[in-house]
Structure formats: structure tokens, C-alpha cells
Amino acid sequence: MTDLTKATQKHIVLVGNPNVGKSVFFHYLSSVYVDVSNYPGTTVEITSASLNKNVSIKDTPGIYGVSSFNDEERVARDVILYSDEILNVVSAISLERDLFLTKQLIDMGKPLIVAINQMDEAKGIGLEIDLKRLSEILGVPIYPTVAISGEGMKEIKDCLLNTKAKKGIVDPVLQRELTELLPLVANQAEALLLLEGDLVIAERHKTEPRNKRNEIYSQRRKEVNEIISDTTSTKNRKERVLTKVSNVLIEPFWGSIIALLIGFLFLYQFLGIWVGGDLINFTEKRIMNAYYEPAVKEATGQFLPVEVLVKTGNKKEVYSFPKGFLADKGKYNKIKQVINKEYFFGPSDYIEKEIKGTTIPNTFLSTVGTVLSGKYGILTLTVTYLLGLLLPLVIAFYTALAILEDSGYLPRLAVLVDGLLTRIGMNGRAIIPLILGLGCVTMAAVTTRLLSTKREKIIAMTILGFAIPCSAQLGVIQSLLAKSGGIKSWLIWLSVISLVLIVTGFVMNKFLPGKATPLLIDLPPLRLPRISNVFHKAKTKVMFFMAEAIPAFFVAAFIVSIMQVTGLLNKVIDIFKPISKNLLHLPEEVSISFILGMVRRDFGAFGLTELHMTAAQVTVASVVLTLFVPCIATVAVMAKEQNWKVAVGIWVSSMVLAVSIGTILARILGA
């Protein structure tokens, strides 16, 4: 029954250039259910959803034309070829560009609905579009929309559900040529691609390509120019303030100054001082440590063996409850109201070594108490870290990133750094996965797909593995640096990480065959971010990040707790002692952070907050942990995107690099 329903569904495909708001359309239309999967034979993701039981919709990568030049275009081509209808989203402020794709879709003979988006911005710059005339010329229904505010979206959905798509008007001369090719191919769409010289379509049907792309493209460009002249006009069109700002942002000198200022405000001032200092101090210290953890420990101690250290002035006194609080209510009531107290559930959990007194025997029940509510307990430290430290940092990071994305700043940053990135083997487009890596390196490794060549993808992945910290790790490190050494420590950390990034790129650019491809990127209008859009982007990414992080943290905490009670943790610390203490001049307990960092980078960073270190040691530890190995999830993604040889090579190299640089830095700073 399900297969029959799928077979009889009408398949609508969402098609458009990059940066036209296509993702907002899909989100509106697919609010019930979304399915994301890799297209067979590629790493390109296709997102699909059901509007109802009779209509499904698929999103495609942003493309400028239907062809076979890269994975994105090949995937879009095949999805478009076998679609029933197409919803073509174009931008009102870039009709000259977007209508070229629209005309190609019309020439393919596909039933089409055109949504002209960003009409509010067109109005803002004095651009007027005669939508009725445009619809007459193209021969397809046209709807004006402002997707981010929802204007016109209901009409679009009603149109899709009521089958109002139409085939557009094709030039008679071109139509005759297409008709002549129909016996050789499956449909008019394939006939057009064959006529344009598409080698894949020619090979598919065992025929020769016609190689008339230049002639057809030239005629199509002429038609689009005539359409623009006939349907648009400008009224008091002035350069907007934001357009002037946009020009400044890509100007080499002032653009670089602004980028550095944004980096300082974002990393040090926002994440390091305000979020990592003030906000985290409130959520972690004043809420989780002061109220949540004592409540959990007290609840655990009702039934399990526990010792309580009560501090009164300079006096310290130990109260032992071998069978829990409920078994000795008198002694429990004596300390119940004492605020300054600490709980310990087993020998391995007892950190007050100098206190003489009874010690809980290492039994099964004491092990359970330690695992649940001990020093690394899954109900204490793990929950405190997730809610008191990780969540505020992740929310702050993704909110700031969403503002940069929604404003249109990131593509301008790509243009600004294109010259530098070209020298290290990539083009400016690579700045996108590098910045996204500051959110989650695992997700950023996936976005290296947008780079043109395998060479550029390997360079980007290597830099991600070596020098890009994820959001929570970044936030913890910024907080530690700001608290310990201030701006001096932060500048040392930033300089070392930047140097590693640049040198890594230079070395790989020199030894990997090939060269960087030119930057071809569309600059969307610079706009003031919309609160609703920023909220949605941040919420989606935070939920995705936390859904991935929470299970991993509980598993890691459980493993560390077991290692703690079995004594294995101390043995591991001893094994890594020559590296942590002798080479890096750090407390030997820092080994725990490195071990946890292999599972989750951010979990490893949190371990540093539990150690007492000098400013120099914090700087060294922060540099080493930033450069240390990618987490397990990132390595798996790298292996999937490239191969295990590349992934393992990056993993091993990053470990050697981190220890080597940390060793040198420790001696320079006198850690």
C-alpha cells in the first residue's frame, strides 16, 4: 500500500540559484516531516518531504544552470529530469541572473511555477517588476513572495496542491530542434541537454552530443535581457546604506580591520568574557554547583554509602554513613542544615587526601554511588557540564553565527580572504567550512563538499582537524584564557593557532598536485538580520548539536567513572605522565582531558576547568588541546568523505603536531 502511494505521488522539485531563499520555502512547505539522504554515488544530500499523501517535494542544491559540471549540478539535473513539476525560486533583486535558469527549465518542457522572492528588498531599492507582463512572456504562473515573513507562501502552497503549474513558451526554432531529437531520448528535457552537449545524457542514450551550448546560451541570455528590459523599471533607485557598507566589507584594508574586530569581539569579548565568564559563572557556579549538585548528591546518599566533609571555619569534620542517610537519621539531621559540606561516595572519589578518618570500603554500592554522583558522576558533573556550561556556550555561538549568516557577511568574508586562502591551496569559499568548524568540526567536514576539487577538500579537512576548535571547546578555552592570562594569553593562543593553520595550508599546497580553483561566489544583499530567522537557525543547530552531544557525554562520563573506581584512570595518567608533565610541563591530570578529547573535543576542554594551573600552563594546555586530535565522530566523517587513510593520517599528525608545539611553547613561556 505504501509503495503504491509513493508510486502515484506527484513529485515536485524545488529549484533555484544559491541565496534566493530556497531553504525558507522548503522549511515552510515541509513543516511536518523531512527526510535527508545522500544521493546515490555522491556525498550530496537531497532533502525530501510530503506535503500530503498525494504530493511530495524535493529540495535541490543551489545551481546556476542544469548541466553536469559538478556533483551538485549532476544531482540537480537527474532530480529535475524525472520530476512532475518544478517550483522555481528566483530573487527579485537578481532577475538578470536567475531568469537564465528559469528559461532553461521552460525550454526543458517542465510544468513550472515561479516564485519571485525578496520583493521587499526590490521595493527598498526602487525596483519595480511588472509581474503580469512577466507571466505573459514566460507563459507560467508567477507569485511574489517575501519568504522570511511568510508573505505569499500560502498562495504558493495552494498552487502546488491544486496543480496550477504550466509549461512555458519555448522559442519556435528551438522547439523544432528539440522535437527532432525526441526519438533519441526519453523527453524534451533530455533533448535540450543533448542539444547543449551534455556528455552524460549522450552516453546514457548511446548517441553523439550536439554541442550547441554556446549558441543556445547566447540566445537565452539575449532573451533574458529583453525580458528584463520589458518588465522592470527603476524609480528613484539609490544606493542603499547597506550597499555602501557591503563595499567596505570586501575592501582589503578596511575589510580586514573589520574582520579582525569582529573576531576579537566574537571570540574574546563575547564568548570569552561575557558568556564564558559572567554567564557561565551564573549558570554553572550559582545554579548547578550551588543547588543542583548538592540536591542530587543528597538524594543519592539517602540509600547508598556516603561520607560528608563538613567545614566550619578552619575545622573539618568527616561524617560517615556506610548504609546511607536513612539508616542513621540522627547523625544525618545533625549535618542536614550545614551549607558548607562535600559528599564522597567511595575511596576513589575521596579527594581530601589530608583528612584523616574513616573511608568507605570499595563495595558494589559505593561504586554505584561514585558512578552516579561522584567526581565524574553521570548525574552530577555530566549534567552540570551539559546544562551549566555547554548549553549556554552553544546557544551563544550559534546565535552569533546565525546573525553573521543572515546578514550576508560570510560570503563577503569569503571574497575578502580569497587571496590568502588561494596561497594555501583553496579559494575564498573554503572560509565557510572553516567558520562552520567553529560550531562543529564534524558538520564542517561535511560542508567541504561545496569545494570544487578533492585537493581543496583534503586541505580544508586537514586544517579543520589541526587548528579549528568546535563551539563548546572554543568557548571553554576562551573563558579559561580570559580568566587566567587575559588578552596576553589570548593573543598567544590565537597567534599559534593562526600560524599552524597558515603553515599547514602552505605545506599541503606545495606538495599536493594541482592548484586552487578561482572563486565563483554569489554575494547576497547585505541586510539587517531578522530575529525570527536568527532564532530558527540557532535553534535548529543547537538542537542538532545537543542531540549528538548528550548521549556521547553520558557514555564518556560512565566510562571515566568506571575507570576511576577500578583504578584504571590513575594508570592511564601514569602512562601519559612523560608527555603531560615532562614535555608539556602541565599537571599530570591533564591526561584525562586529552583522553576525553578523543571522544569529544569539548568534553576534554571541560576537564581543564577542574585543574589548578598558572597562566602559562593554561595557555599551553589550551593550544595543545585545540591542536589535539579530532574527535571520533569527525574522524568517521572524514573517512566517509575521503577515505580512512586520509582520516587516520590527519588524526596521527594532529597528535604529533599538538605535543611538539606544546613542548616548544612550554619552554618559551616557562610553564
Is 533 in a helix, a strand, or coil? helix
Lowest mean pLDDT among 155-164, 412-421, 430-439, 640-649: 430-439
Q: Is 80 exceeded by the pLDDT of residue 293?
A: yes
Residue 146: left if φ>0, alpha if ψ -120 to 50, beta else—which one? Answer: beta
Grid coordinates representing 39 are 544521493
Lowest mean pLDDT among 13-17, 254-258, 277-281: 277-281
Percent of the chain with pLDDT over 90: 18
pLDDT of residue 521: 66
Q: Which amino acid is at 105?
A: L
CA 153/CA 119 separation, integer angstroms: 13
Closest CA to 449 of 61, 2, 131: 61
Domains delineated in the chain: 2-234 (3.40.50.300), 252-275+383-669 (no CATH)
pLDDT of residue 42: 37
Positive or negative CA dihedral for 597, 36, 16, 195? positive
pLDDT of residue 39: 35
Q: How confident is the model at residue 101 (pLDDT cuts 50, 70, 90)?
A: very high
Q: Is 70 exceeded by the pLDDT of residue 169?
A: yes
pLDDT tens string 219-238: 998 999 999 999 988 765 55
Q: Higher model confidence: residue 3 or residue 246?
A: 246
Q: How confident is the model at residue 536 (pLDDT cuts 50, 70, 90)?
A: confident
Instruction: Record the pTM.
Output: 0.66
pLDDT tens string 469-504: 877 778 778 888 888 878 888 899 999 999 999 999
**Whole-number average pLDDT of the chain:** 82
148: which DSSP letter?
Answer: G
Cα radius of gyration rounded to whole Å, the chain = 30
Positive or negative CA dihedral for 420, 424, 426, 430? negative
Beta bridge partners of 233: 128
CA 641/CA 42 separation, integer angstroms: 10
